[in-house]
Amino acid sequence: MSEVDRETAPAGLTIALNRGRILKECLPLLDAAGIRPAEPIDGSRKLVFETECGRHRLVVMRGSDVPTYVEFGAADVGIVGKDTLLEHGMSGFYERLDLGIGRCRLMTAAPVGADLGHGPLRVATKFVDVARRYYEQQGRQVTIIPLSGAMEIAPLMDLADCIVDIVDTGNTLKANGLEALETIADISTRLIVNRASMKTRFDAVQSFIDAVRSALP
């Protein structure tokens, strides 16, 4: 279905949304599915928004918090990037739908022409657990250096030999003398559901999933 029926739709859901680029890209999709905020979200300092249908509630937060809110049941469903899910771990919720927006890659990168050899590596990243698992699978000894942003600076300042980061166009890497190497995962935006909500509120959750799925291009 393309619209949530105002009269017969099941009781509403709390929907956790990843603020920033993903939020801007998913709002038109939610609108097409009949889920519209009762007031504009863009530019607002509010974090919780009622919907026009009066049934659902939208909560805007940092992407890294979306899986936590869904896992512990504070939100029934969430919309967040696959990179965040990989770092968080896949417990406490179901991944039900690939929305196909926010596509990019989670990759390793290093200075152009760098010889990383086979010995220990210093790896700068905000994806600490993902990077650790990736290099463990390779049997590579690494020191993970946690950073919250501007990963490209780390090799330039001799803080790290390479980085693990999200790559979209690759222009930022090139501008800082780095090149993309191995792809760890293809990334896009996913819809996740709390495990308990999937059982106890199945009709409402499935109705929401069906509405979003039907709105996908």
Give residue 11's pLDDT.
63
The full length of the chain comes to 217
Per-residue pLDDT of the chain (217 residues; tens, 9 = 90+): 344 444 444 468 999 999 999 999 999 999 999 999 999 998 889 999 999 988 899 999 999 999 999 999 999 999 999 999 999 987 889 999 999 999 999 999 999 999 998 899 999 999 999 999 999 999 999 999 999 989 999 999 999 999 999 999 999 999 999 999 999 999 999 999 999 999 999 999 999 999 999 999 8
Give me 134's structure tokens: 């990736």
Ordered DSSP codes for 82-149: HHHHHHH-S-SEEEEEE---S-EEEEEEEETT----SS-EEEEES-HHHHHHHHHHHT--EEEEE-SS
- Edge-to-edge strand order for the sheet containing 104-111? 142-146, 121-125, 162-167, 104-111, 178-187
Task: Report the distance separating Cα 33 and Cα 27, nearest Å.
Answer: 10
Query: Is there a shared CATH topology between the 14-102+188-215 domain and the 105-185 domain?
Result: yes
Considering the domain delimited by 105-185, tell me its CATH architecture. Answer: 3-Layer(aba) Sandwich (3.40)
Q: Which of 90, 79, 74 is nearest to 19 (CA)?
A: 79
Give residue 4's pLDDT.
42
Whether the Cβ atoms of residue 125 and residue 131 lie closer than 8 Å to each other: yes
Task: Report in angstroms the alpha-carbon separations of 146 from 131, 139, 143, 178.
Answer: 10, 20, 10, 19
CATH number of 14-102+188-215: 3.40.190.10
Give residue 199's pLDDT.
95
Task: Report in angstroms the alpha-carbon separations of 187 from 98, 102, 107, 128.
Answer: 10, 8, 10, 17
Residue boundaries of the structural domains of the chain: 14-102+188-215, 105-185
Give residue 54's pLDDT.
82
pTM of the model: 0.87
